[in-house]
Amino acid sequence: MIFLTRRATFSASHYYWNEAWPAEKNQQVFGRCANRNGHGHNYTLEVTVAGEPDPVTGFVVDLKWLKNVMEREVLSAYDHRHLNLETPEFKNAIPTTENIAIAAWQRLEPAINAAGGASLSRIRVYETPEIFAEYRGEA
Amino acid sequence: MKAYFGRRYLVSASHRLHNPALTAGQNRAVYGKCNNAHGHGHNYVLEVLVGGAVDAETGMVVDLVALDKAVGERILDRFDHANLNLDPLFADRVPTTENFCQAIFALLKNALPGGKLEHVRVEETENNFFECSAQPVS
């Protein structure tokens, strides 16, 4: 089994706010991340797929194809957007790095698995070079 | 849903690889320049990965500020700008990065503010790193 990873970057803004809580609690739990005008990051998205190399091409997946899938399913929705205001999955969920990793998995998995040959193994989202979240499809 | 939260920290420390049970010649043969008498230093990058359910109210596996506090108190305050050989943990153990990684894992395992410690990775330089995880070695 080979694990193949492709990286891409996107820049987006967000804020952390739980509508069920009073303002004071949001500020206490989320600190600066609760500033209502939002703030932004240069995110790095890492997509890892697992599979066996094709006997003819030697590829687990075609990297150009994977790049196009990532652009179509994730970057076109997230890059240079406000995640809270412009992406449907964060209308009701807080766009924490954890939730972005889960949402990216949900956007990518159908397209990657439908292609056959390789399966989605891991999503890692870096919010900064020092902070990241990972989702492996677990319940 | 289970997800993982990772955080990277910087620890600048010195060490010398030397086992007093070995002869001077053996130490030189095993550790090479890492055995030089006065030690040397690294900018270690410490990666902590915490796994757990994403909290429905906060969207988080673990609170970053609380994690930083725990790692700061247990690890950074203790090892940053220190000589690893002089720490009691390394009184009877050579402070290789393997042993440093295991020591950090043991110090953090029960000290997290939430979630479960999945792995500790210590990068000694850009080109070598060591990982210690909760999985038993098979």
- pLDDT (0 to 100) of residue B136: 63
- pLDDT (0 to 100) of residue B53: 98
pLDDT band at B8 (very low <50, low <70, confident <90, very high): very high
Identify the structural domains of chain A with CATH numbers, from first to last: 2-135 (3.30.479.10)
pLDDT at B92 over 90: yes
Residue of B nearest to A100 (CA): B59
The complex scores an ipTM of 0.87
Helices (H), B61-96: 64-71, 77-79
pLDDT digits 0-9 by tens, B49-75 = 999 999 999 999 999 999 999 999 999
C-alpha A71/C-alpha A67 separation (Å) is 6
Identify which of A29, A101, A131 has the shortest CB distance to residue B3.
A101
Long-range Cβ contacts of A104-107 (<8 Å, 24+ apart): A104/A45, A104/A47, A104/A74, A104/A135, A105/A135, A105/A137, A107/A73, A107/A74, A107/A77
pLDDT at B6 over 60: yes
Interface of B with A in 75-94 (CB under 8 A): none
Residues of chain B positioned with their CB less than 8 A from the CB of A135 = 1, 3-4
Q: Is residue B20 within 8 angstroms of chain A, CB to CB?
A: no
- A7, two tokens: 């990286």
pLDDT at B33 over 70: yes
Q: Do A138 and B2 form a contact (C-beta atoms < 8 A)?
A: yes
Q: Is residue B54 within 8 angstroms of chain A, CB to CB?
A: yes
Structure letter (DSSP) for residue A41: E
Annotated catalytic residue, options B42, B101, B124, B132: B124
CB pairs < 8 Å spanning A and B = 63
pLDDT band at B137 (very low <50, low <70, confident <90, very high): low
Q: Is residue A129 within 8 angstroms of chain B, CB to CB?
A: yes
Q: Is residue B126 within 8 angstroms of chain A, CB to CB?
A: no
pLDDT band at B12 (very low <50, low <70, confident <90, very high): very high
- Mean pLDDT on B14-31: 97
Q: Is residue A19 within 8 angstroms of chain B, CB to CB?
A: no
- B59, two tokens: 């969207």
More confident residue, B88 or B138: B88
pLDDT beneath 50: ranges in chain A:
none
B133 three-state secondary structure: strand
Closest CA to A17 of A85, A75, A80, A74: A85
- B129, two tokens: 């790193």
- pLDDT (0 to 100) of residue A57: 85
